[in-house]
Amino acid sequence: MPRRRFQRGSLVERSGRWYGVYRVDVLQADGTFKRDQCWQPLGLAGGQSERAARRQFQPYLDKVNDAVIKLPPKIGLTLTEFADEWRASVAVNLKGSTTRAAESHLRAHIIPKLGSLHLTEVTTKVVQGFAAHLGTGRRSRKTVENVLLTLSSLLRTARAWGYACGNFRFADLTLPREGVKKEVRCFTDDEMRRIIAAATEPLRTILIVLAVLGKMSLW
Residue ranges per structural domain of the chain: 10-69, 79-172, 189-218
- Give the Cα separation of 176 and 139 in Å (integer): 10
pLDDT tens-digit profile of 45-63?
Answer: 888 888 888 888 888 887 8
In this prediction the pTM is 0.49
Q: Which of 20, 12, 63 is nearest to 38 (CA)?
A: 20
Class of domain 79-172: mainly alpha
Ordered DSSP codes for the chain? -PPP-S---EEEEETTEEEEEEEEEEE-TTS-EEEEEEEEEEEEGGGS-HHHHHHHHHHHHHHHHHHHHTS-S----BHHHHHHHHHHHTGGGS-HHHHHHHHHHIIIIIHHHHTTSBGGG--HHHHHHHHHHHHTSS--HHHHHHHHHHHHHHHHHHHHTT-------GGG--PPPPPPPPPPP---HHHHHHHHHH--TTHHHHHHHHHHHHHHHH-
In tens digits, the chain (219 residues) has pLDDT values of 333 346 678 888 888 888 888 887 666 554 456 778 888 888 788 888 888 888 888 888 878 777 655 554 445 789 999 999 999 999 888 888 889 999 999 999 999 999 999 998 899 999 999 998 888 877 788 889 999 999 999 999 999 988 888 888 888 888 877 654 444 567 788 888 888 888 889 888 988 888 777 654 443
